[in-house]
Amino acid sequence: MLQVRGVKVRYGGAVLALQAVSLDVPAGAVVAVLGSNGAGKTTLLRSVSGTLADHGGAVDEGSIEFDGTSVVGRPAAELATKGLVHVPEGRRVFTRLTVAENLRAGSFGVRDRARRAAAARRVHELFPVLHDRRDQRAGLLSGGQQQMLAIGRALMAGPRMLLIDEPSLGLAPRMVDRIGEVIKEINEQGTTVLLVEQNAHMALSVASHAVVLTLGTVTLSGAAADLAADPSVRDLYLGIRPETEPGTPTAEATRVPAGTGARLGRWEL
Ligand code: ATP
């Protein structure tokens, strides 16, 4: 559904944020992107969703196709009407508007009234609290509820693929679990998900496949279960010290050699 090939991104014509990044998101999958601060995770989502230029960035090389059509240089509003919708980092809800107004804002591009009503029903079933608090200002919601509202607003556009950036950031562990469950449920209802997360526990429990970005390059990719078993992921992202000797190949994840960014993992389509 989404095919990223050899993508190189710079900000301001200078800062190199992604170099030769490639990945696939098959229809129906949840693919997680892991990596530490500054690895390029957010930049990857911006490149796909048409919001890169708003941040002074540009795709210098490579291709990004959604359903076989290039998305590079296309505006976010146009991509949203094609079913590609971004939930940015930081729960950017309209704090002075009510919950209901925030949700309505998500469906501006949807002309069909029946589709808008169906999307609203879906959001209220997934997040009953948003229905209960529909007339309250979004700024009065808790952090977790605001995250639900941000996801709910994106669902109002009727996406076929959701790009979700760091939904667990700053949330209590129980709420992180809840957000993970919701992402699974959204996926089971038929929405494909590309999920950026620093919380590798949550991301790998939700995802079918995952990639690790390191300094703008994909360094590891494979099935989520294989990445969860990989010693470097366990050590760096799950906080579990490897019991094997360093470098012992125990997992099935594909290590992507430096300089071969166009190469894909075992789950290449
Ligand atoms: P974090 O989790 O901290 O957000 P990240 O993995 O999402 O990290 P990015 O935000 O994509 O990483 O940043 C990748 C690189 O691009 C970093 O070196 C960052 O400083 C740089 N960068 C990001 N946004 C901009 C911008 N608007 N202008 C200039 N450089 C930027």
Q: How far is ligand 1, taken at its centre, from the CA of residue 54, in Å?
A: 13
165 neighbors 89 (Cβ within 8 angstroms): yes
| CB-based contact 48:194 (threshold 8 Å) | yes
pLDDT for res 254: 67
Ligand 1 centroid, distance to 87 Cα (angstroms): 17
Is the CB of 39 inside a 6 Å radius of any atom of ligand 1? yes
Distance of CA 19 to the CA centre of its chain: 19
Residue 50 clears pLDDT 70, i.e. is over it: yes
Distance (angstroms) between ligand 1 centre and the Cα of 258 equals: 21
Distance from Cα 220 to the centre of ligand 1, integer Å: 20
| Radius of gyration of the chain measured on its C-alpha atoms | 18
Give the pLDDT band (50/70/90) at residue 53.
very high
Q: Compute CA distances 231 → 36, 79, 109, whole Å.
A: 16, 38, 45
Cβ–Cβ under 8 Å, residues 167 and 154: no
From the alpha carbon of 213, which atom of ligand 1 is closest? 6
pLDDT (mean) for 119-136? 92
Q: How much is the average pLDDT of 219-224?
A: 92
Q: Whose CA is nearest to atom 28 of ligand 1?
A: 11
